[in-house]
Structure 1
Amino acid sequence: MKINRYPRNSSATPDMSSRLNVTIPQFSGLSTSSVTPRQFLTDFEIFTALCNISGDSKLVATFQLHLTDEARWWFDDLPSDLRSSWAKVKDAFQLRFVQRNSANTSDFIHQENLFLQVQLAPGQSINSFFYSIKEKVVTLGKLQSDLLARFVDGLPPDLALFVRAGHPSSPEIALSAARNGEAYGYRQQSPAPQPRCAAAATSRSSDDIVALRRELRQFSDQVRSLVISPPRPQGPQENGPRVSRPPQARRSDPPNSGPPPIQCQLCGRVGHVARTCRSRPLNY
């Protein structure tokens, strides 16, 4: 904080603001800021006291003029009801910058993870879900954009898609769209999705076991039929024409008789052939 002293006017009794020119640096909220959040808040309170600035509206307006960059964005995203009170703005500033700057890192990360994992519970009203997130946003010093994103992401898939389709520009508009989506039936949320999935998996396993048992039973029946039934005799037809033999009925001689007698083709007598036959003509 910089204070410039002006010479006193002996003809009058000036107040503190007329004799001092008090200035304080703006606070950016960035890690490269030249002033810490705690120091800035202390200097601001001294500045307003020296300049006789009082009242919620004047204090909040003066505080807003001394914010820049990330700190100004944070202030612009504060709810309007919170910005109407200097005490609420001061508490929010301490939560967002002072306590966050000095808080335990592991505890802050834990709170951040809880904030990112919050979901609409079965049976919970949308209004209750919205205001519970809003409370966490104020506690963690989040922005209005964080409230909007976390609220929509925490809704059931169909309802979240319905809200996103309207491109809400503020958390209040998203809340109204979520109510309408619930009225249209887009909030389809099962209280216990895990048992349903387990039951489906059990049903599929039972079907597979039944099918496997059916196949094993059919295979056992086939094997049993092959073992019990005798083999069929193989006839001549099954051996093929290559192993077929002439019928036995064509053989008129007994099995042990010798070769058939020689018969002449000219005279029909037995014991000689045609070329030695006496009845053969000369020109034969």
Structure 2
Amino acid sequence: MARPIWNGVLSFGLLNVPISVMSGERKVDLHFRMLDSRDKKPIRYERVNAETGDEVPWKNIVKAFEYEKGSYVVLDAEDIKSAAPESHESIDIEAFVEHDAIAPAYYEKPYVLVPGKKADKGYVLLRETLRKTKRIGVGRVVIRTREYLCAVFPQGDALVMNLLRYPQEIVDVADYKLPGSKPAALRISKAELDMAEKLIDSMSSEWKPGDFKDEFRARLGKVISKRMKSKGVTRTIEEEPEMPEDATTNVVDFMALLRKSLDTKKRTPARAKPAAVAKKKPASRAKPKSGTKKSPHSPAKSARRRA
């Protein structure tokens, strides 16, 4: 079962609602390892000195800010710690705004707020009030050592918190050369506008997220499964680290299915060669390729025994 990011309170005014902050996203990307094409061994990345090329151990690495090309100011752990906000498990709502006042570009990462023990009443009170007034709570939250701007809003039976980007993180669209707002300047006729409106109306429907699938991932999964059944399979070199218990992702299930497919293939005996072929060309004593199992009762061995 997923574990909370942290447990704390959701505060607005003088009201405090105990909550648990749970991840609201699921990573489903396929993760690839980089191998050396010559021997299929994994490639590791090293921390090297740009001048000498020597590897640098972690204990000798410091953080620095490059204030101009080639000039740095070094910061130690205490410098960074002094700038970090005080760690406190609280979502402090500072204002309530219209639900459509925040542009989509500001939304960054979702979390689900789960009420703590005996906190249902306060939780539902805030949820239903936000729903009725069509408002979103905007506040601040500290996750690990960084303070974030956040928005709290109702979604079904849940209160969802979405981290927000700060204004300086958003590119102003005015920075780009864009066409003006007057269609007439581009000779767009009223008939064309009416036709485009009718097309949009004909394609309009209710938003159903489940109707949209990650088709690329599904197709790539089929390619990987097909490759695992072919001669392109490479034996496992290193065990992948286990996913933590609180990881909210179905990548583990996908990898389990792939490993199960590979195990099934390994348990299937290799197809025996005809005896006539074995007589003409005796089996080589060379070490079999990695990942290939030979049947203990193959016709080639029987031919050598009879000889």
TM-score w.r.t. the length of structure 2 is 0.21
Q: Which has the higher contact order (CA 8 A, sep 6+)?
A: 2
Give the helix-richer structure, 1 or 2.
1
Max Rg structure: 1
TM-score w.r.t. the length of structure 1 is 0.22
